[in-house]
Amino acid sequence: MQKQGDIIQQLTKKQLTFHLYFTQILLLTIASALGIFLFDTTSDFWKQLRFSPDILTVGMTSGLLIVMIDILLMKVLPAKYYDDGGVNAQIFTNRSMGEIALLAFFISVSEEVLFRGVLQFHFGLVISSIIFALIHFRYWAHWFLIINIILLSFWIGFIYEFTDNLLVTIIMHFVIDFLLGLYMRKNGRQRRKEGMSHE
């Protein structure tokens, strides 16, 4: 049986983009279906989306802090600790900044609506965080990546509990995915250049 990384390596950029967006649409569809059954009124859901200073002070700050910690760990730990089979490199290396921003936006909205806006709202922090970690199964191949995604999941869930504002976690998630996507693009292009220079 092929590993996910090997399968993704065989996809064209167009095919990979289709699969990425299809996954996010699927998550939003699941969130909508669950929301119909779990929320008494639609206003109960929309109350979670509020413009407030927390979006910048808590959401952006937490996102930047996570990115700085992650980049620091990538620099000091052996490369094998962050080895996801080349999936992230394949996703981000050949994308423009705008493409990464759009992808980060769709991922942050769909995942936060489902995991915080629906699941955590109704079933609590622990259940939603565990399910969030479980669907990121490509990180299960390495103990460090598993711990990393579980801690991140609980931290985003805690921020949601603390602020009671879904926009805060959407912004936080966007900042993390967008900046780390740019960082991975830079690293992927650098490795490609180094590979070419050795040929």
Neighbour tally for 95: CB within 10 Å:
20
The reported pLDDT for the residue numbered 1 is: 38
Residue of higher predicted confidence among 84 and 176: 176
110 vs 42: CA distance, rounded Å: 17
**Is there a contact between 55 and 165 (Cβ–Cβ < 8 Å)?**
yes
Q: In this predicted structure, which of 50-59, 69-78, 121-130, 134-143 has the lowest mean pLDDT? A: 134-143
Cα-based angle 160, 82, 74 (whole degrees, multiple of 5): 85
Cα dist from 71 to 62, 116, 183, whole Å: 14, 25, 8
The residue with tokens 């969130």 is: 31
Residue of higher predicted confidence among 79 and 175: 175
| Reported confidence tier of residue 7, pLDDT bands at 50, 70, 90 | low
7 vs 178: CA distance, rounded Å: 24
Whole-prediction pTM value?
Answer: 0.90
Residue of higher predicted confidence among 124 and 89: 124
Residue of higher predicted confidence among 77 and 5: 77
The reported pLDDT for the residue numbered 102 is: 96
